[in-house]
Amino acid sequence: MTVLAAGPSERAVAGRSLWRDARARLLRNRAAVGSLVVLGAIALLALLAPYLSIHPYDKVYFDRIQVPPEFAAGHWFGTDGSGRDLFVRTLYGARVSLMVGLLATAVALAIGVVYGAVAGFVGGRVDELMMRAVDVMYSLPFMFFVIILMVMFGRNIYLIFVALGAVEWLTMARIVRGQTLSVRRKEYIEAARASGVPAPTIIRRHVIPNVLGPVIVYVTLTVPHVIIVESFISFLGLGVQEPLTSWGVLVSEGARVMEEAPWMLLFPAGFLAATLFSLNFVGDGLRDALDPKQRP
């Protein structure tokens, strides 16, 4: 309790922290800032999806099946093979794709950080055993996992992605463990130990905040990876169920008709590519910004 009470005063003397420096460096990186703007715009479009189009996402227009973009009728991206408005479907797809990306990454983050920090901090036999378990899980084919989970959870996309996050945490755990090993001998940890702070509190208050840099970078790379996995699952026909949609579903539908209806591929694929590009640029920018060697 005494440790918690010390919180506010610590923050009061924050001064020129690593984080503030990192933010300044990130804001100087034009590619990263541009990407953040793009991501913000896409997220905003996804949030406002129902208000941006006169068409509901699941309404079928039998007289307008697979028509190219048509501004007069409000079909800015055309319609799909069932006569539904593609613009509003692309935005609804953004909702699902971004949501599953964030959800799975959050699960991976929660498990991976705790697991890696505990393994690295406790060390010795426990560490060896815990990392051996990670190695074993690494050797199981990913596809096998995904399909078994799909079978067990039925077709509930959110549960599947919680489960997917439970597979994705392995790399996160390795990164966090490596970082923890390098901070556990630092003076501030020794000081905390000497003053009798219990190990779980040290992990929570001192180890985890100090290993977050590489973790944040990895998070920006996990989100695009999960979005790609989602699209792959959709290609196999195991993704979200109609009439709900995702970028993966839209892109794989579009890929099937790319010759006769290229708009059905181009618009969702464009959104998908822009998001993945941006996340990767933000990840690169963060890595450079958080690298202490680059500190002026």
Partner 1 sequence: MFAYVVRRIAAAIPTLAVIVTIAFFMMRVAPGGPFDLDRALTPEIEARIKAAYRLDQPLHRQYLAYVGDVLSGDFGPSFKSRDFTVAELMKAGFPASLRIGAAAIVLAILVGMGLGTLAALRQNTPADYATMGLAMTGITIPNFVMAPLLTLVFGVYLSLLPVAGWNDGAIRNLVLPVIVLALPQIAYIARLTRGSMVEVLGANYIRTARAKGMPERIVVVRHALKAAALPVVSYLGPATAGILTGSVVVETIFDLPGMGRYFVQGALNRDYTLVMATVIVYAALIIVLNLIVDLLYGVLDPKVRYA
Q: Which element (helix H / strand E) includes 270?
A: helix 262-290
Question: By CB under 8 A, which span of 55-63, 107-115, 132-140, 177-185 interacts with partner 1?
Answer: 132-140
**In whole angstroms, how close is the CB of 147 to partner 1 at the nearest point?**
4
Q: Which residues contact 60 (CB under 8 A, 6 or more apart)?
A: 82, 83, 84
Q: Which of 179, 231, 245, 246 binds partner 1 (CB under 8 A)?
A: 231
Question: By CB under 8 A, which span of 15-23, 40-48, 161-169, 268-276 interacts with partner 1?
Answer: 268-276
b/e map of 123-141 (b: 16 or more CB within 10 Å)?
eeeebeebbeebeeeeeee
Q: Is 259 in the site for partner 1 (CB under 8 A)?
A: yes
Closest Cα to residue 189, out of 206, 201, 210, 212? Answer: 206
Q: Which element (helix H / strand E) includes 180?
A: helix 157-183
Q: Which amino acid is at 181?
A: L
**In whole angstroms, how close is the CB of 259 to partner 1 at the nearest point?**
6
Q: Is 129 in the site for partner 1 (CB under 8 A)?
A: no
Q: Is 35 in the site for partner 1 (CB under 8 A)?
A: no
Q: Is 158 in the site for partner 1 (CB under 8 A)?
A: no
Q: Is 191 in the site for partner 1 (CB under 8 A)?
A: no
Alpha-carbon distance values, 209 to 75, 122, 132, 292 (Å)? 48, 17, 25, 15
Q: Residue 41 or 148: which CB sits closer to partner 1?
A: 148
Q: Is 272 in the site for partner 1 (CB under 8 A)?
A: yes
Q: Is 151 in the site for partner 1 (CB under 8 A)?
A: yes
Q: Which DSSP state fits 206?
A: I
Q: Residue 79 or 234: which CB sits closer to partner 1?
A: 234
Q: Which of 15, 124, 141, 292 binds partner 1 (CB under 8 A)?
A: 141
Q: Which of 265, 286, 289, 290 binds partner 1 (CB under 8 A)?
A: 265
**In whole angstroms, how close is the CB of 196 to partner 1 at the nearest point?**
37
Size of the site for partner 1 (CB under 8 A): 37
Separation CA 221–CA 30 (nearest Å)? 19
Closest Cα to residue 68, out of 90, 46, 83? Answer: 83
Closest Cα to residue 247, out of 219, 279, 275? Answer: 275
Closest Cα to residue 104, out of 57, 153, 167? Answer: 167
Q: Residue 65 or 148: which CB sits closer to partner 1?
A: 148
Residues that bind partner 1 (CB under 8 A): 31, 132, 135-136, 138-144, 147-148, 151-152, 224, 228, 231-232, 235-236, 248, 251-252, 254-256, 258-259, 265, 269, 272-273, 276-277, 280, 287
